[in-house]
Amino acid sequence: MLKAELGKEIVIKVINDIGILADITRVVADMGISLLAVTCWVEGANGIIHLVTDDNLRATDALRKHHYESREAKVVVAELPHKPGMLKILAEKLKAAKIDIHHLYATTHSSDAKCLTVLSTSDNDRAVVTLNK
């Protein structure tokens, strides 16, 4: 039903400015790197961008060459069937195991059979085991 594994996301903190997401995604795209999931938001004067790519090493190298400070963070990458109630099941499993969700983002298209969910928890290793049960 659920398929979860450990993964990494790239976290970039920048000064919030018009076009910054366009600039960062151009750097990644110019390297031929695919984005699997993205989330971003504003905190005060800063923009926070989280990227899951198909090649984090090359992406972080390219970002550094363009003077973007980035770091990798451990996450859980879960593949869920795209049907009603799947996020509820994921959240209930983690709740029952007393695992706190720190952040979560997901992506799919209405015609897709599966959805990709990226989350960071209080215990990513245990979250993977719990979600795969």
Q: Above 80 in pLDDT, residue 118?
A: yes
- pLDDT for 107: 83
88, burial (CB in 10 Å: exposed 0-12, middle 13-18, buried 19+): exposed
- pLDDT for 111: 83
Please tell me the distance from the alpha carbon of residue 14 to that of residue 6, in angstroms, as a whole number.
Answer: 26
* Domains parsed from the chain with CATH numbers: 8-72 (3.30.2130.10), 75-131 (3.30.70.260)
Please tell me the distance from the alpha carbon of residue 116 to that of residue 70, in angstroms, as a whole number.
Answer: 23
Do 17 and 46 touch, CB atoms closer than 8 A? no
The DSSP call for residue 88 is H
Please state the pTM of the whole predicted model.
0.90
Q: How confident is the model at residue 95 (pLDDT cuts 50, 70, 90)?
A: very high
- pLDDT for 98: 98
Tokens of 112: 């897709």
